[in-house]
Structure 1
Amino acid sequence: MIEMTVETTDVRADRIAAAARAGATAWSGVTLTQRREMLQQFAGLVERHASEWVRIATGIKGIDPASPAVGEEWISGPWATLYYAGHLLQTVAKMEAGGTPTDGFEMRAVPGDRVAVQVLPHSVWDRLLLSGFSAEVWCEPGVSETEVRASAGLGLRAPADVHGTCVVLGAGNIFSIAPLDALYVLYADNRSVALKLNPVTDALLPMFQAIFAPFIRIGAVQIFTSDLELGASVIAHNDIDAVHMTGSEATHDAIVWGPGEEGRANRTAGTPRLRKPITSELGGVSPVIVVPGRWSKRDLEFQARHVATMRLHNSGSNCVAGQVVVLSSDWAQKGEFLTALRRALADAPERPAWYPGSAGRVAAARDGVTPHEAVGGTPERTLLPVLDSGRDEPAFENEFFGPVLGVTELGGTGADFLARAIDFSNDRLRGTLGANIVAHPRDLRAIGSERLDEMLAGLRYGTIALNAWTAVGYLSPFATWGAFPGHTADDIQSGHGVVHNGLLLARPERTVVRGPFRPFPRSMATGQMSLAPVPPWFVHNRTAATTGERLVRFSIAPRWRKLPSVFASALRG
């Protein structure tokens, strides 16, 4: 008779931590050349397994395989991962050749004694595939251009000096988050990775193991699923030096301070349970500031669909989802915009509110809020149209993480309204991950570029998107992704630290993304030289699935001959 031995939680934690320690030693012996080669192998494996990745992802989320919503999984899964890996490769190659990551990147002075690094567009492919979009990383006040260039590279500046081990707690909503976080810890923090998957993503374990095979072979990465008890045991283990997580503020606080009454007592006493470094991305309440102006009917419809996408992408289960639309009570077209927004929310294709607990969070968002409107689709799709900007509304404090969108109003027009909306967002909305601003180019010109930069400098968010969704910052490999600096462990809000940051900048403060107010060809009428059609991440895009897959196949080996098929699909969207 064969006896089966079942490992206890402590034994499993010991094994995982010991493997992480051995992996750190192995990673210290991997040269820049080898790290570049491993990243190239990783990218090839992502492309090879991309169809499998999307098939599993759509199964987890209950998406009809024939639905355009499959495009969300192509774009936010394998394409986001490939796009980042390809750009991180450029950084490693520059350092391998004796250069610095910022070689060839333009910088400019921005308000507050800051330096901004232009990170998008950077290549001809960026200029074509993301035509009209741009992004800058603004560094912390007082950091000179010389210092930015001299300090870029982080852990790759001394690859043999590995900084130990890290547990990465992978998110369960967007399936590129876990692999991208793991790559950042490997290359930027220069640590081995023990990647714990969210239970939602257990089915992706074999695929993730397949794409990380070059790193797993030497022990620099291990991937596992677990219950809460094992996860806590691994985090607390003496052989684990650091933690990185993407998740909720409540989960962060339970890890740092302890659960329940223990956590409250520890917080009061100022004695955290976790006594090792932790970085985190925790979401928050993201504003969508709509600057009043004179818009055409098509502008109203397009931007209403833009805002609906910010809320309904991934059924609203995004840390970067727009949650509170800030309108001007003095805007003559306010009613027209709200009518278009209701229609855009209602017309978005059906898909399940799939993330665990979504129905309960939607019910809680509706509780006691009058009026609240069911705006089509599943019963959970909800608009809260008259939130009082002068009250402490739950929508201002609690991240819904579901298909619920709130609307509030402030007085004013032009720069006066924008200044009020910035103050409201800074002071009344919890979290600092991302803020969106929608404004007609005519009204931006009236404000002036210098004053606009000054106003953006006063908006305390880790990513600011002007006529774009902050998710473009998430997708931009050289951009940073994370909360605005300054949160403390006892009031963590949207977290601490950044990821992505493909240039490995040492002291970034925020990313500022800009996009076209109108899609091509109407963009030309506003003086914006943008060839971008309706973006494939829009929830109303009819060819998102085809475009997403073609972007993946293009990214693994960019070629001019591949572009026509990408553009043909995108233009039909």
Structure 2
Amino acid sequence: MDTVNSAADTAPDDSSSLDALVGELRRGEETWGAMSLSARRDLLAALSEAVREHAGEWVDAACAIKRLDPGSPLVGEEWISGPYALLGGIGALSATLAALASGRSPVDGFRLSRAPGDRVAVRVLPHGPFDRLLLHGFRAEVWSEPGVTAGRLKETAGLGQRTPEKTGGVGLVLGAGNILSIAPLDTLYELFAHNRVVLLKLNPVTDPLLPVLTKVFARFVELGLVRIVTGGVDLGAAAVAHPGIGHVHITGSVRSHDTIVFGPGEEGRERQARGEALLDKPITSELGGVSPTIVVPGKWSKRDLAYQAEHLVTQKLHNNGYNCIASQVLVLSEDWPQKDDFLGALRAAFAAAPPRPAYYPGSDDRCRAAVRDHPGTAERVAGGSRVLLEVPADGDVAFTEEYFAPVLAVTSLPGRGREFLDRAAAFADERLSGTLGANVVAHPRTIRALGADFTHFVAALRYGTVAVNAWTGVGYLTARATWGAFPGHTLRDVQSGIGTVHNGLLLDGTERTVVHGPFRPFPRSVLTGLFALSPRPPWFVTHRTAATTGRRLTAFAGRPSWTGLPGIFASALRG
């Protein structure tokens, strides 16, 4: 049996097999350390070509995992959050290596400006003419930590690729089970940000993707840089404990993280309380949380109410709510005259969104728990498959327990203007578990009227990604943006995790990503005086041509060209 192939597509069944895999990666580490930046770019080019070649197979596997009708527009989610996202990450890393190889900083050519609180903002979207056309009206900035200078950002950008010969050992990536580009992107980040070769263990939910990923990463596997395995909890525990593994990265739940670090059961919780970790190696993590969407009161038209209701429903029901940054708590103003009108539009959109199977394990149980936790007030819609809650702001289990299911809680705070902003920021920062992502919806006229108060409000939200009139998922898709929790968490209180990923510029000293999007889609945006040419985004759950648009976007991301744009625009506008 071929050793390389068996290492890539079978699960180790004993400790000797795991030893063999780690031994192969140790030898691969030597190969990695000897590779020039140019050779690493060649590897990325081969990876990009393989993703393009097998993208259709990837999406077919995703549909099987998620039990989606291959003819459904919802398949667009799998194109965009799968091969499209990975291709964007590959392209960003390749450009960073090209800059370093030519003696430049990866930040050269990017707009740098001041952000609140002695921070530096790096404009990462749009980048280049294609971004300006395809995502017109969207922009994103990576903010540094307070006190980090523009000079330091430029000097340190590139992370491990500044000294490629200094490798970081063998890293274990425990893959996510929901969004299928997460595990490949995490693997690339270990390789390029930290110079670690990677043992990737897939989440059992995504095991059917193994044949595709084996083909996609074929060159990395041949060189001993990556090994991909499947298996259950026992394999994961053995890999974590293996002395040849020097670092662990997990995308998953807080419970899984805490079990790895402190051990299971009551004994593990007691160790956690004492701060006595069992894990004897560093761990980074992305763990989700309870994400809010804060609606800033203003004067909206009926079409604004309907569109933003669809937007909020997308934030909740994309991938049926099985996203680490699925909006879980909607925060409204008690004093907003249009509050009831918006809730009416939201209920209608929540019920009318396309149906889909509850594929993620335990989803139905979590929906039933949400109903059980709110006797007499929980509202089941769409044949009982979704749950809408109205809860008081002074405390609720929905503020601390991530349901990871199609469950949306609505709460209200008093005030308007700056008073509401201050209360909403304090509520999100202090009452809600997790710091991965927060969404804000506000009319441009309201933002202008609030001025500096609105800017300070965004800065006050302690989240790794803050999206204004956009979903934080746009930050996930922006390859040069950072992705991860707000910095400062500890192993004992990990919240949404420790560390960042994606970060195609390989920036050091970052704090968050801030995304802005258009309040209205084209053509209504232009007709109402807001110059934004983006139509309804293809990641909206209501987008009628999302599958075609997603497929064309993926082909374009693999080989950008002016000739690819008309077909994308035509499909997107029909959506």
Per the normalisation by structure 1, the TM-score is 0.97
Counterpart for residue 122 of structure 1: 127
Query: Which amino acid in 1 is paired with 2:444?
Result: P
Query: Which amino acid in structure 1 is aligned with residue 394 of structure 2?
Result: G
Alignment equivalent of 2:377, drawn from 367, 371, 374:
371
Between stretches 16-25 and 362-371, larger displacement belongs to 16-25
Q: Which amino acid aligns with 2:85?
A: A
Partner of 1:362: 367
Q: Give how far 1:99 is off.
A: 0.9
Shift of 1:527: 4.1
Q: Contact conserved, 2:521 with 2:533, CA < 8 A, in 1?
A: yes
- 1:42 pairs with one of 28, 42, 47: 47
- Give, as a single letter, the amino acid of the residue that structure 1 aligns with 2:70: P
Secondary structure of the residue aligned to 1:238 is: coil
Moved more, 451-460 or 66-75: 451-460
Residue equivalent to 1:25:
30
User: Is contact 1:483-1:497 (8 Å) kept?
Assistant: yes
CA shift for structure 1 position 7: 6.9
> Residues of 2 paired with 1:451 and 1:418: CA distance?
8
Aligned to 2:393: 389
Instruction: Please report how far the alpha carbon of residue 20 of structure 1 lies from its aligned counterpart in structure 2 after TM superposition.
Output: 2.3
Computed over aligned residues only, the root mean square deviation of the Cα atoms, in angstroms, reads: 1.1
CA contact under 8 A between 1:9 and 1:233: conserved in structure 2? no
CA–CA distance in 2 between the matches of 1:320 and 1:20?
33
2:110 and 2:336 mapped to 1: Cα distance?
A: 40
Answer whether contact 1:132 1:528 (CA < 8 A) is retained: no
Contact 1:182 1:195 in 2 (8 A): yes
Matched, 1:408 2:411: yes
Alignment counterpart, residue 508 of structure 2, candidates 494, 498, 506: 506
Does the CA contact (< 8 Å) of 2:370 and 2:387 recur in 1?
no
**Equivalent residue pairs, number:** 564
- Correspondences of 1:199-218 after superposition (within 5 Å): 199-218=204-223
Q: Deviation of residue 348 (structure 1)?
A: 0.6
Are 2:422 and 1:419 aligned? yes
Q: Give the C-alpha shift of residue 415 in structure 1.
A: 2.3
> Counterpart of 1:453?
455
- Give, in whole Å, the separation in 2 of the partners of 1:415 and 1:571: 37
Which amino acid is 1:562 matched to? Answer: G
Report 1:105-504 matches (<5 A): 105-369=110-374, 370-376=376-382, 378-384=383-389, 386-391=390-395, 393-448=396-451, 450-504=452-506
Structure 2: unaligned runs, 5 residues or longer: 1-10
The CA distance in 2 between the partners of 1:85 and 1:309, in whole Å, is: 27
Kindly state the Cα deviation for residue 11 of structure 1 after the two structures are TM-superposed. 1.7
Q: Separation in 2 of the partners of 1:256 and 1:223?
A: 23
SS state at 2:284 partner: strand
Paired residues of 1:12 and 1:230 also in contact (CA < 8 A): no
Aligned partners of 1:9 and 1:229 also within 8 Å: no
Shift of 1:47: 0.6
Would the aligned equivalents of 1:380 and 1:404 in 2 still touch at CA under 8 Å? no
Q: Is the CA contact (8 Å cut-off) linking 2:119 and 2:146 kept in structure 1?
A: yes
Residue in structure 2 matched with residue 64 of structure 1 by the alignment? 69
Distance 1:163 1:537 in 2: 37
Q: Which residue of 1 aligns with 2:537?
A: 535
Q: Is the 8 A contact 2:247 2:283 kept in 1?
A: yes
- Which residue identity lines up with residue 316 of structure 1 in the other structure? G
Contact 1:477 1:502 in 2 (8 A): yes
Q: Aligned partner of 2:151: which letter?
A: T
2:111 maps to a residue whose letter is E
For the residues of structure 2 that align with 1:52 and 1:407, how far apart are their CA atoms? 39
Amino acid at match of 1:410: L
Q: Which amino acid aligns with 1:396?
A: F
Distance 1:115 1:232 in 2: 40
| Conserved 8 A contact 2:370-2:378 | no
| Partners of 1:144 and 1:414 in 2: CA distance | 33
Query: Aligned residues: percent identity?
Result: 56
Distance in 2 (alpha carbons) for counterparts of 1:90 and 1:238 = 35
Change (3 A) 1:162 1:411: same
Answer whether contact 2:298 2:446 (CA < 8 A) is retained.
yes
- 3-state secondary structure, aligned to 2:198: strand
Q: How far is 1:418 from its partner?
A: 1.6
How far apart are residue 8 of structure 1 and its match?
A: 5.0
In structure 2, what is the equivalent of residue 556 of structure 1?
A: 558
The residue type equivalent to 1:203 in the other structure is P
Quick check: 2:74–2:546 contact (8 Å CA) kept in 1? yes
Q: For the residues of structure 1 that align with 2:461 and 2:529, how far apart are their CA atoms?
A: 26
CA distance in 2, matches of 1:245, 1:270: 20
Amino acid at match of 1:570: A
Q: 1:7 to 1:398 in 2, by over 3 A?
A: closer
Report if aligned partners of 1:152, 1:505 keep a CA contact under 8 Å in 2.
Answer: yes
Which of 12, 17, 23 lines up with 1:12 in the alignment? 17
Distance 1:94 1:437 in 2: 35
Contact 2:170 2:246 in 1 (8 A): yes
**Runs of 5+ unmatched residues, structure 1:** 1-5
Contact 1:17 1:234 in 2 (8 A): no
Structure 1: distance between partners of 2:273 and 2:434:
22
CA distance in 2: counterparts of 1:487 and 1:328, whole angstroms: 30
Contact persistence 2:296–2:440 (CA under 8 A): yes
